[in-house]
Amino acid sequence: MSEHGGETKDSSGCAGADSDRLLPLSVSDKLTIVVGNTHFSEEKKLLVQSCDYFQALYRSGMKECQQEEIHLKCLRARGFLIALAVLRGAHVTCGVDETVHAASRTVCFLDETSKGWKVLTDLPLEASTSMAGVTVLDNKLYIIGGVHGVQKQVVDGCFCYSPENNSWRRSAGPTQPRYNLSLVGVDSCLYAIGGEYERTVMSSVEIYNLKSERWTFAAHLPRPAAGAACTKTMSRIFVCLWKPMETSEIYEYISGTDEWRLVTTLIRHQSYGHCLVGHRDNLYIMRNGPSDDFLRCLMDCYNLTTAQWTSLPGHFANSRGSLFTAVVRGDSVFTLNRSMTLEYMVHGRNWKPRRQMKGFPRSGSVWTFLLRLPDALMLH
């Protein structure tokens, strides 16, 4: 789009003062443009005067000329919003944070046939995954809290994506605004665990009931925690809290008595858990190597039935210097970092490599979760 929306074009064929003649008389002056899941209502005259695409469209005589709604499939909503502001004469300054941000605001899915990642949908303009809580419950994706924009404002709201409708819905966020929280969903309830607000680490926990659509406070964590590793398995919630430099404690939330109960403690020299994965009656803790060696990812397994710890053999490499995230599907565990996606088969308490696929090389926050997608979205 042109940066000067009111500029008259020369005789090379682009419309200026004669752009009114391009507009069909049978349609309204307003045009709705759909970009992703966002709808924009704009003056048709402004679009035709300022954009080669719309000039060509209304010269073409195609059926789209008579439509009051046009879908643009190759753009991002944020970029289109900025372009519209420029067309209206606004001075828009996009810093590095803003333009990396726009490129990475997508939800992607793993195409296991091509072994690569494809875009599923864009995030709503108000939502952010930076230091947010992300989880799936009842096959819907939830994003809560986090920070947004250059000034890192706290996001107030809960954003829900339904793959069945391929749409987003916004509802009320936690009573206590928070970022760098942990989020987990069990039995039609979302648990917002710990986090920060105004640079203060919190121990508060809130529960959102999907049926009543209400937030209520639950028992506080044993101590304040931000970005705590948490998981669910067998409809039970577990969280891993640190006592630096070498102690990892696992607590379980007991809903019947509204309390956090200590399950077990793991002590490893200068090492503590960063990621927690539940599979059946096993809890797997992924932790850094000794002396903050983040290029190695070591793993220990705690069996809830026998109350025994075992160390998994070998280590898991992380070439980009960060521990991976993981999600369980059946008896497979998919681990993801920016260089590779690996599938492991859980055999006993060990993980056996099955196949390697492309990583997720984009900047910004990376979260993993499991959704069942309709065939129409898979083929998009």
Reported as a single tens digit per residue, the pLDDT across 122-133 is 888 889 888 999
Q: Which of 94, 118, 88 is nearest to 106 (CA)?
A: 118
pLDDT band of 144, cuts 50, 70, 90: very high
Reported as a single tens digit per residue, the pLDDT across 239-250 is 999 987 789 999
pLDDT for 75 equals 67
Instruction: Please give the Cα distance from 330 to 280 (Å, whole number).
Output: 9
Q: Which domains does the chain have, with CATH numbers?
A: 17-87 (3.30.710.10), 125-155+168-224 (no CATH)
pLDDT band of 254, cuts 50, 70, 90: very high
Q: In b/e form, how buried is each residue of 6-36, taking b as 16+ CB within 10 angstroms? A: eeebeeeebbeeebeebbeeeeeeebebebb
Helix residue ranges, H only, 17-127: 44-50, 52-60, 77-87, 96-103
Q: Which residue has the higher pLDDT, 244 or 344?
A: 344
| Lowest-pLDDT choice from 23-27, 291-295, 302-306 | 23-27
Reported as a single tens digit per residue, the pLDDT across 315-342 is 564 444 446 789 999 999 998 887 889 9
Tell me the percentage of the chain whose pLDDT exceeds 90.
47
pLDDT for 61 equals 65
**pLDDT surpasses 70 at 311:** yes
Q: Burial of 326 by CB count in 10 Å (0-12 exposed, 13-18 middle, 19+ buried)?
A: buried
CA 20 from centroid of its chain's CA atoms: 43
pLDDT for 247 equals 92
Quote the pTM value: 0.73
Rounded to a whole number, what is the distance in angstroms from the first to the last CA of the chain? 26
- CA distances for 107 relative to 9, 69, 72, angstroms: 39, 25, 18
* Average pLDDT of span 130-154: 91
* Average pLDDT of span 81-103: 60
pLDDT for 25 equals 40
* Average pLDDT of span 272-292: 85
Instruction: Please give the Cα distance from 24 to 61 (Å, whole number).
Output: 9
